[in-house]
């Protein structure tokens, strides 16, 4: 056997033809006989109780099959997670909450029926504005990733007093929303009689079939194996599809009224803004105290952000500051406001993304204050070991990324003076920022390999969010099996396959790949290179895969050039360039796409993304792509990313680390720093809209 498509080659997506010809079937498009359609009824107040819900007009509409409300909905077996406990009582906890559903012969009839449901409420006072002086602020037990909410080492206040150069500034980032191309959608079918033990089938647009199985089955009173979840193709998620949301429960409930018949439910873009998570707004006080030479004596990062009253989600905004730079006095904190808002959730590099905006902007301010080049400033504060844990770095290449980026971006020619480069109406400037993202790998994932006489079937419940899993995981399998790529028959996206962690924390391919390599090795050990037809082997990763003796993180450097119109404040981004150290590259083509995708999302954060809440109504006003602006192709002219470094054998069997999230980290700060360099205006509140510059 020969290896013709090993890891490291830029294989084009194996699913490209299906994607561009429209034959790749997404959750809503699964061909199914005689489908019915569900449309949610959403609350139009932010807090209160439903006093009356009149469904009679909806029920009389021709083509309506059922109308669900809290008064008649099937009882849920487990209501402990209040995001999933829909239609259980008359309470309204945020605007846009699911309070009913209409099931009908067509989506149009279901939608019209939902419009005909008349709801009366007893409204209560709600609060959706983030107020840093609120007496409701509390300290959570931990942030979402499990680290403590606060850390304190040395004496930041005293060190700030004593430091000759200090930065003490407040940065804010707004509420933001994930907008994957494919809206959240699900097709649910209750079998009339269990089929192979399965009672409910969900075609779900999710980042993890087993995550859905594990979360949804107990809510519905099913054993996990009674719930079958399928997701061969997913049109993006960015974290918002990392766990199921209330609409998955609603579709499952709605399908109970028409057993044997699939029920389709697709959230509208507007409904997604209340039902599929968002990034909390943040208010971040960043303090840096340094000697004249720029060496840091104190770093303080204090964050105020929100969560929903009914379910806690704590973005780990200050965690990045614990490991990025060395200083003897360091302090971080998270204070949380419980509000009557939809439930916040993962959005690409949760924590690192807003946190890096504050930290990397403040470092730029310190460089200016000390009169030191911002790359040199970072060099002077490079920690020998992880400042937080004291552990040695597994593969810290931040300075290499900065130096390589500086060389390729042309940083050496940069004139540090601000506001002096002008071409007609346009001022120009450049900025830099560091990036980092922790290495994660989820334990317990399983995979199996089977030889069918012609191909190796490689099976596990992995997902492809559009990121290239079909391709890259096939490459990993081919290398591990020592066979050509076309002899691998990858089978993913189905909960009937061996149980796998979902895509999240940039750990998908790392986790699945290591497991596939283990299964392939087991196969070759047991069956050699000339296996009998039907030969198979399996593997399960240990529960704990992270090396406790090393601090494992990826690193990167973000460079941006901006042009700012001196009269209108319009900001253009002619150039972005990123250098990233992510271990071994599995597929250079899909890796580059992930990185420049992340950088583009960072540009989007810097200049556009802003969820506007009308606090009087508790209403998200910018709830579609007309009002919630995301960067498009025309927003960036020249964008590129390269990788440096080599295989990191501690991170995974392939030597790779994750690549999904680090591309967004620091990108917004690089742009904000470039805007400062161009104009002399330091914008500490995102997004950087023209009105902030004139
Ligand atoms: Mo990612 S925000 O961990 O799906």
CB of 658 closer than 6 A to ligand 1?
Answer: no
The candidate with the shortest Cα–Cα distance to 341, out of 615, 82, 622, is 615
Assess whether the previous peptide bond of 100 is cis (omega < 30° from 0): no
CB of 239 closer than 6 A to ligand 1?
Answer: yes
The candidate with the shortest Cα–Cα distance to 440, out of 666, 657, 606, 664, is 657
For 330-372, write each residue's pLDDT tens digit: 999 999 999 999 999 999 999 999 999 999 999 999 999 999 9
Catalytic residues, by residue number, are 661
Can you tell me which atom of ligand 1 is nearest the CA of 241? 4
| End-to-end CA separation in angstroms for the chain | 66
CB of 505 closer than 6 A to ligand 1?
Answer: yes
For 272-286, write each residue's pLDDT tens digit: 999 999 999 999 999
Distance (Å) from CA 86 to ligand 1 centroid: 25
Distance (Å) from CA 505 to ligand 1 centroid: 5
pLDDT tier for residue 694 given thresholds of 50, 70 and 90: confident
CB of 177 closer than 6 A to ligand 1?
Answer: no
User: Rounded CA gap, 92 and 598, in Å?
Assistant: 35
Distance (Å) from CA 226 to ligand 1 centroid: 27
For 512-563, write each residue's pLDDT tens digit: 999 999 999 999 999 998 999 999 999 999 988 888 999 999 999 999 999 9
Can you tell me which atom of ligand 1 is nearest the CA of 507? 3
* Structural domain 151-177+279-439+549-692, CATH architecture: 2-Layer Sandwich (3.30)
Give nearest CA residue, ligand 1 atom 4: 239
**Residue 377, Ramachandran bin (φ over 0: left; ψ between -120 and 50: alpha; else beta):** alpha
pLDDT of 424 > 50? The answer is: yes
CB of 208 closer than 6 A to ligand 1?
Answer: no
CA distances from 17 to 14, 20, 119, 239 (A): 8, 5, 47, 26
pLDDT of 5 > 80? The answer is: no
User: Rounded CA gap, 138 and 338, in Å?
Assistant: 8
The number of residues making up the chain comes to: 694
Q: Which one of 511, 660, 663, 665 would you pick to mutate in the ligand 1 pocket, going by the greatest count of ligand atoms within 8 A of its CB?
A: 660
Q: Which residues contact 420 (CB under 8 A, 6 or more apart)?
A: none
- Please tell me the predicted confidence (pLDDT) of residue 544: 83
0.95 cut: is pTM over it? Answer: yes
Pick the CATH number of 16-26+442-540 from 3.30.365.10, 3.40.190.10, 1.10.645.10, 3.10.310.30: 3.30.365.10
- Compute the average pLDDT of residues 295-311: 98
CB of 313 closer than 6 A to ligand 1?
Answer: no
- Please tell me the predicted confidence (pLDDT) of residue 2: 47
CB of 504 closer than 6 A to ligand 1?
Answer: yes
- Please tell me the predicted confidence (pLDDT) of residue 529: 85
Distance (Å) from CA 237 to ligand 1 centroid: 8
Distance (Å) from CA 335 to ligand 1 centroid: 22
561 phi, psi to nearest 5 deg: -120, 135
Q: What is the mean pLDDT of the chain?
A: 97
Q: Which residues contact 627 (CB under 8 A, 6 or more apart)?
A: 612, 621
**Residue 450, Ramachandran bin (φ over 0: left; ψ between -120 and 50: alpha; else beta):** beta
For 635-667, write each residue's pLDDT tens digit: 989 999 999 999 999 999 999 999 999 999 999
Delimiting residues of CATH 3.90.1170.50 domain(s) in the chain: 32-124+181-236+242-275
Q: Are strands 553-565 and 571-581 parallel, antiparallel or unpaired?
A: antiparallel
Distance (Å) from CA 291 to ligand 1 centroid: 38
pLDDT of 1 > 60? The answer is: no
For 385-412, write each residue's pLDDT tens digit: 999 999 999 999 999 999 999 999 999 9
pLDDT of 4 > 70? The answer is: no
CB of 387 closer than 6 A to ligand 1?
Answer: no
- Segment holding 221, helix H or strand E: none
Q: Are strands 91-92 and 329-339 parallel, antiparallel or unpaired?
A: unpaired
- Please tell me the predicted confidence (pLDDT) of residue 562: 98
Q: Are 251 and 28 in contact (CB under 8 A)?
A: no
Fold assignment, 32-124+181-236+242-275: Aldehyde Oxidoreductase; domain 3 (3.90.1170)
- Compute the average pLDDT of residues 456-478: 98
ipTM higher than 0.95?
yes
pLDDT tier for residue 6 given thresholds of 50, 70 and 90: confident
Delimiting residues of CATH 3.30.365.10 domain(s) in the chain: 16-26+442-540, 151-177+279-439+549-692
The Cβ of residue 259 has, within 10 Å, a number of other Cβ atoms equal to 12
Q: Which residues contact 387 (CB under 8 A, 6 or more apart)?
A: 322, 323, 325, 326, 327, 330
């Amino acid at each position: 056997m020969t290896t013709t498509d090993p890891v490291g080659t830029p294989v084009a997506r194996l699913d490209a033809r299906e994607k561009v010809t429209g034959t790749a079937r997404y959750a809503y498009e699964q061909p199914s006989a005689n489908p019915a359609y569900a449309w949610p009824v959403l609350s139009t107040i932010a807090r209160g109780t439903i006093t009356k819900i009149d469904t009679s007009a909806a029920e009389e509409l021709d083509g309506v099959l059922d109308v669900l409300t809290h008064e008649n909905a099937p009882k849920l077996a487990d209501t402990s997670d209040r995001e999933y406990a829909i239609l259980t009582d008359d309470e309204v906890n945020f605007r846009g909450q699911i309070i009913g559903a209409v099931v009908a012969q067509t989506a149009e009839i279901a939608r019209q029926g939902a419009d005909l449901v008349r709801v009366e409420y007893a409204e209560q006072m709600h609060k959706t504005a983030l107020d840093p002086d609120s007496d409701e602020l509390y300290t959570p037990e931990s942030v979402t990733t499990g680290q403590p909410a606060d850390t304190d080492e040395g004496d930041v206040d005293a060190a700030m007093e004593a430091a000759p150069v200090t930065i003490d500034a407040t940065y804010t980032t707004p509420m933001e929303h994930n907008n994957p191309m494919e809206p959240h959608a699900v097709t649910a079918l209750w079998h009339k009689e269990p089929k192979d033990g399965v009672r409910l089938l969900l075609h779900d647009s999710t980042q993890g079939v087993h995550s859905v199985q594990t979360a949804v089955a107990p809510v519905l009173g099913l054993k996990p194996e009674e719930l079958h979840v399928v997701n061969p193709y997913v049109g993006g998620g960015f974290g918002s599809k990392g766990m199921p949301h209330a609409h998955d429960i609603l579709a499952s409930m709605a399908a109970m009224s028409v057993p044997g018949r699939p029920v389709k439910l697709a959230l509208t873009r507007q409904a997604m803004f209340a039902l599929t998570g968002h990034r909390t707004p943040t208010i971040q006080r960043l303090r840096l105290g340094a000697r004249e030479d720029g060496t840091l004596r104190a770093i303080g990062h204090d964050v105020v952000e929100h969560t929903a009253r009914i379910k806690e989600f704590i973005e780990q905004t200050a965690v990045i500051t614990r490991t990025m730079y060395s200083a003897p006095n360091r302090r971080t904190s998270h204070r949380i406001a419980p509000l009557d808002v939809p439930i916040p959730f993962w959005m690409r590099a949760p924590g690192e993304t807003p946190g890096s905006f504050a930290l990397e902007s403040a470092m730029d301010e310190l460089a200016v204050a000390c009169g030191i080049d911002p790359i040199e400033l970072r060099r002077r504060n490079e920690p020998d070991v992880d400042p937080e844990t004291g552990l040695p770095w597994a593969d810290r290449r931040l300075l290499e990324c900065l130096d390589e980026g500086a060389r390729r971006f042309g940083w050496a020619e940069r004139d540090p003076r601000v506001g002096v480069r002008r071409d007609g109406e346009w001022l120009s400037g450049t900025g830099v920022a560091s990036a980092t993202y922790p290495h994660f790998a989820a334990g317990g994932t399983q995979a199996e390999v089977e030889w069918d006489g012609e191909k190796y079937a490689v099976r596990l419940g992995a997902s492809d969010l559009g990121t290239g899993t079909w391709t890259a995981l096939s490459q990993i399998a081919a290398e591990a099996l020592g066979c050509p790529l076309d002899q691998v028959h990858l089978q993913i996206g189905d909960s009937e396959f061996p149980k796998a962690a979902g895509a999240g924390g940039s750990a998908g391919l790392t986790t699945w790949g290591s497991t596939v390599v283990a299964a392939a090795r087991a196969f070759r050990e047991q069956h050699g290179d000339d296996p009998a037809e039907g030969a198979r082997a399996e593997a399960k990763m240990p529960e704990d895969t992270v090396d406790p003796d090393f601090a494992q993180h990826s690193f990167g450097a973000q460079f941006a050039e901006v042009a700012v119109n001196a009269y209108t404040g319009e900001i253009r981004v002619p150039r972005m360039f990123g250098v990233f150290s992510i271990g071994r590259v599995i597929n250079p083509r899909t890796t580059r796409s992930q990185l420049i995708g992340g950088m583009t999302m960072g540009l989007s954060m810097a200049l556009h993304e802003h969820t506007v809440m009308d606090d009087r109504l508790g209403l998200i006003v910018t709830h579609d792509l007309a009002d919630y602006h995301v960067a498009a192709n025309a927003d960036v002219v020249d964008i590129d990313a390269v990788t440096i470094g080599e295989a990191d054998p501690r991170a995974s069997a392939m030597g790779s680390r994750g690549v999904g999230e680090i591309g967004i980290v620091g990108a917004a700060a690089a742009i904000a720093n470039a805007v400062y360099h161009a104009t002399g205006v330091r914008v500490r509140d995102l997004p950087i809209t023209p009105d902030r510059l004139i």
